[in-house]
Amino acid sequence: MSRLQLFGRPFVVFDANNKDHRLHYHNFVTTGSWGQCPVRFVVDDDHGDLITMIQRNLIKYYSNKEFGLGVVKEQQTIRPKQKRNG
């Protein structure tokens, strides 16, 4: 182990439920840099890159927050009433 690993920022898994993690991502989007972030986020195996992983997690988080936990309501088609001839 090198000395850099001893003094480096700790690795963490991004958690969209964690307000600090959302704030760190917001700061990255605003500044274009992870320089002020006190942690290093790791990428899950099923995601290609860090930004895509975070964005997908945030979409899921905010969708669940607005529409409910994984509940998808079936859309009903509203058909206009047809006029009767006669």
Residue type, 53: M
Q: 22 lies in a domain?
A: yes
Task: Note down the domain range covering 30.
Answer: 3-66
Question: What's the pLDDT at 74?
Answer: 47
Q: 60 lies in a domain?
A: yes
On the question of pLDDT at 84 being above 80, the answer is no
CA angle 61, 66, 69 (to 5 degrees): 60
**pTM above 0.75?**
no
Helix, strand, or coil here: 3? helix
Q: 31 lies in a domain?
A: yes
Give, in order, the Cα–Cα distances in Å from 85 to each of 37, 79, 82. Answer: 69, 18, 9
Digit-coded pLDDT (tens) for 36-65: 999 999 998 777 899 999 999 999 999 999
